[in-house]
Chain A
Amino acid sequence: MDDIRRPQSSTTPRAFNTTPVTDIAGVTPRTAAPTANSVYTAAPVAGSEPTVSSAPLTESLPATSNISAPLSSAPQNVASGGPVMAPTQSATFEQNPPSAQATSGSLLAEIEAQEKTESESRVQQAPTAPRPKKHGWFPIFMAILIALGLLAGAGYAYWQNNKQTKITQTTKTTSTPAATKKPATTADIDAATKAIDASLTSLGQATDILESDLSDTTLGL
Chain B
Amino acid sequence: MLQKKISLGVLVGAFLATILFVPVASAAQDSSNASTQNNATQKAAKLAERVANYKTKQAVKLAAAEETKLKGSCKAAQAKVSALTTKSTAAYTARTKLFTAITTKVTSIKSGLQDAEIETKDLETAEAAFDKAVADYKTAYETLKADLADTAELDCVTDPTAFKAALLTARADRQAMADKAKTVVESIPAIRAALVTARQELAKASTSDTTESTNTGAAQ
Number of CB contacts from chain A to chain B under 8 A: 133
The SS class assigned to the B binding surface is helix
Query: Which range contains the number of B residues in contact with the other chain?
Result: 35 or more
Contact of A195 with B101 in the complex, beta carbons under 8 Å = yes
The tally of residues in A whose CB lies under 8 Å from a CB in B reads 35
Which of B8, B92, B167, B185 is close to A214, meaning CB atoms less than 8 Å apart?
B167
Q: Which of B5, B98, B174, B206 contacts A140 (CB 8 A)?
A: B5
Grouping DSSP codes into helix (H, G, I), strand (E, B) and loop, the A interface class, with mixed when no group exceeds half, is: helix
Q: Is B77 an interface residue (CB 8 A)?
A: yes
Tell whether A218 is near chain B: CB-to-CB under 8 Å: yes
B51 CB within 8 Å of chain A: no
Which of A6-14, A17-25, A61-69, A182-190 lines the interface with chain B?
A182-190
Known: A144-B13, A219-B77. A199 touches B98 (CB 8 A): yes
Question: B219: which A residues are within 8 A, CB to CB?
Answer: none
- Contact between A137 and B84 (Cβ–Cβ < 8 Å)? no
| A 173-206 contacts with B by CB, 8 A | 181-186, 188-190, 192-193, 195-197, 199-200, 202-204, 206
CB-CB < 8 A to B6: which residues of A?
A: 140, 144
| Residues B171 and A214 in contact, CB atoms below 8 Å apart | yes
Query: Which residues of B does A touch, CB under 8 Å?
Result: 5-6, 8-10, 12-13, 69-70, 73-74, 76-77, 80-81, 84, 87-88, 90-92, 94-95, 98, 101-102, 105-106, 108-109, 111-113, 115-118, 167, 170-171, 174-175, 177-178, 181, 184-185, 188, 191-192, 195-196, 198-199, 202-203, 206
User: What would 26 A/B residue contacts be, using CB atoms closer than 8 Å?
Assistant: A140-B6, A141-B13, A144-B9, A145-B13, A181-B115, A183-B117, A184-B111, A186-B199, A192-B106, A195-B101, A195-B102, A196-B195, A197-B192, A199-B98, A199-B101, A203-B95, A203-B184, A203-B185, A204-B185, A208-B177, A208-B181, A209-B174, A211-B174, A214-B170, A220-B80, A221-B73
